[in-house]
Amino acid sequence: MKLPWKTKGIVLTAPLSEEVDDVVKFIDEYLAPRKFNLVVMQIRYRYRFKRHPECMGYDPLSYEDIKKLLYVCKKNGIRFIPKMNLCGHQSGLPNKPTDGILHGHQDEKYDIRDGLLRAYPEFGEQPHKPQVFYSRTLCLTNNAMKEVVFDLVDELLEVFEADAIHIGCDEVFNMGQCPTCSAVPKYKLYADWINTLSEHVKKRGAKILMWGDRLYSTEETGYHRYESSDTGTHPAREILDKDVIVCDWHYEDYGKFPSIELFANSGFKIMISPWRDKPSAEAFIKYAIEHDKGHIEGLLMTTWCGSGDLAKRLLYNTEGRWEHTNQIADTIDSLF
């Protein structure tokens, strides 16, 4: 599919340490020839942080692992940036077989905490509640949390030699529960946090990317509640720093995608992010091309499977281990 934009990107999860070389080869031999020029690596807490080793997640990657991935990107003119989740998605359900990926889940029994909240449970909302709906969320007025998060962000920007970081901030359902947070309107709590992060990384010459689903309401778009806000966060759109790049994700075909126009009207630059279902991805891309008001920087394809799994499927045609890997691979292969 021919794209009219300058950026052709993909989100890859940080590989398992034993699969780093497969992913290096995948970038070099699969993504580069297909003219991908951005890799956003969903690392979360899976890095051997030197400043805060207590926050390391499952199977953390080493400095050398990241440099290998960085160098193959550099060699091919591919921009390489890290991705964390810095609001919701602080706990969840692991893929099976375990590949270090946690997904939000409606079944409350799956509430495995990721690196930051395992080390500092009090940095999350409702730390004493044994289980929460979908996934845990940071307590956005906790100043000690901000100090640790800034250190983690700085370390990732350094090792990735990155000019941007993707901060997630999608699918937030448990924000603003404590007395301090609940005194602030949700949209302000949310926007203030992201603006603080944006200000912090700008001092380091970098930018923020984030998911867009909390920035418009269910009512004004007709999207379902996982990809639109029914919790009052959406007015954040008006007070958020317009240097933040919004990644507008949609995985099914709604016929129309009103968020594209809402972001243009609010003055945002965006990327569009489809997923595994090919007809839906095509419909979304086509709609975006037709409704681009010059504010679309490009495509950021999502995957949500292990990147080693995806690499081996697309390089060697091996059977994917996770339930959706084969479909994701087929969609990428036939679209791009």
Taking the complex as a whole, the smallest distance from the CB of residue 169 to Zn ion amounts, in Å, to 15
Give how many residues touch Zn ion by CB under 5 A. 3
Taking the complex as a whole, the smallest distance from the CB of residue 141 to Zn ion amounts, in Å, to 5
Residues whose CB falls within 8 Å of the CB of residue 113, separated by 6 or more in sequence, listed in order = 90, 91, 121, 124, 136
The residue range among 109-117, 171-179, 229-237, 298-306 that interacts with Zn ion, by the rule CB under 5 A, is 171-179
The burial of 238, by beta-carbon neighbours within 10 Å (0-12 exposed, 13-18 middle, 19 or more buried), is given as exposed
**Inter-residue long-range contacts of 50-57, CB under 8 Å, 24+ positions, other chains counted:** 50/155, 51/151, 51/152, 51/154, 51/155, 52/119, 52/148, 52/151, 52/152, 52/155, 54/119, 55/115, 55/116, 55/118, 55/119, 55/120, 55/148, 55/152, 56/115, 57/100, 57/114, 57/115
Taking the complex as a whole, the smallest distance from the CB of residue 245 to Zn ion amounts, in Å, to 27
Taking the complex as a whole, the smallest distance from the CB of residue 181 to Zn ion amounts, in Å, to 3
In the bound state with Zn ion, the residue whose beta carbon lies nearer, of 73 and 181, is: 181
Taking the complex as a whole, the smallest distance from the CB of residue 101 to Zn ion amounts, in Å, to 26
Q: Which of 290, 293, 272 is nearest to 335 (CA)?
A: 272
| 175 is a contact residue toward Zn ion (CB under 5 A) | no
In the bound state with Zn ion, the residue whose beta carbon lies nearer, of 131 and 180, is: 180
The residue range among 31-39, 172-180, 213-221, 322-330 that interacts with Zn ion, by the rule CB under 5 A, is 172-180
In the bound state with Zn ion, the residue whose beta carbon lies nearer, of 76 and 85, is: 85
In the bound state with Zn ion, the residue whose beta carbon lies nearer, of 56 and 178, is: 178
The residue range among 15-23, 113-121, 174-182, 200-208 that interacts with Zn ion, by the rule CB under 5 A, is 174-182
In the bound state with Zn ion, the residue whose beta carbon lies nearer, of 32 and 178, is: 178
Tell me whether strands 7-13 and 38-42 are parallel, antiparallel or unpaired: parallel
Residues 109-148 that bind Zn ion (CB under 5 A): 139
With b meaning 16 or more CB within 10 Å and e meaning fewer, what string describes 45-81?
bbbbbeebeebbbbebbeeebbebbbebbeebebbbb
Tell me whether strands 102-103 and 91-94 are parallel, antiparallel or unpaired: antiparallel
In the bound state with Zn ion, the residue whose beta carbon lies nearer, of 127 and 258, is: 127
Task: Please check whether residue 30 is in contact with residue 315, taking contact to mean a CB–CB distance below 8 angstroms.
Answer: yes
Residues 215-234 that bind Zn ion (CB under 5 A): none
Distance CA 209, CA 207 (A): 7
Taking the complex as a whole, the smallest distance from the CB of residue 183 to Zn ion amounts, in Å, to 10
Taking the complex as a whole, the smallest distance from the CB of residue 106 to Zn ion amounts, in Å, to 23
In the bound state with Zn ion, the residue whose beta carbon lies nearer, of 160 and 190, is: 190
Select the residue interacting with Zn ion from 178, 264, 315, 335 (CB under 5 A): 178
Select the residue interacting with Zn ion from 181, 236, 260, 272 (CB under 5 A): 181
Quick note: the x/- pattern for Zn ion over 22-51, rule CB under 5 A, is ------------------------------
Q: Which of 67, 272, 40, 285 is nearest to 168 (CA)?
A: 40
In the bound state with Zn ion, the residue whose beta carbon lies nearer, of 137 and 228, is: 137
Task: Please check whether residue 246 is in contact with residue 215, taking contact to mean a CB–CB distance below 8 angstroms.
Answer: yes
Taking the complex as a whole, the smallest distance from the CB of residue 189 to Zn ion amounts, in Å, to 8
In the bound state with Zn ion, the residue whose beta carbon lies nearer, of 178 and 289, is: 178
Query: Which parts of this chain interact with Zn ion (CB under 5 A)?
Result: 139, 178, 181
